[in-house]
Amino acid sequence: MNHRLSTTGQRRHSRTANDGAIRVYGIVQGVFFRKNTVLKGRELGLRGWCMNTSEGTVRGAMEGQAGKVAEMKYWLQNSELNKQAPDQ
């Protein structure tokens, strides 16, 4: 299953920096989605935050090199790591 990603408020400061707000739809709560997102963002050298919403989505923002932001957006939509069930 792919997650649906909505991006808003993107601003390109230069060829190497990009930032913007994100909202991810799908099964994103109770499956370690935020934890995996934080780990991937750190791996890519991005700065940002993410949180669960009362609507069952995850929203957040990220900032970093444009190519790394694009890679993160792709990962948010397609990563198998985000489909893990939590340990019981």
Which residues are identified as catalytic?
Answer: 34, 52
Question: Mind listing the pLDDT tens digit for each residue in 23-54?
Answer: 877 777 778 888 888 999 999 999 999 888 89
Residues paired with residue 19 on neighbouring β-strands, in sequence order = 11, 63
CA distances from residue 49 to 8, 15, 88 in whole angstroms, order as listed = 15, 22, 26
Enter the CATH code of domain 4-83: 3.30.70.100
What is the value of pTM for the model shown? Answer: 0.70
Taking all residues of the chain, what is their mean pLDDT, rounded to a whole number?
Answer: 75
| CB-based contact 53:59 (threshold 8 Å) | yes
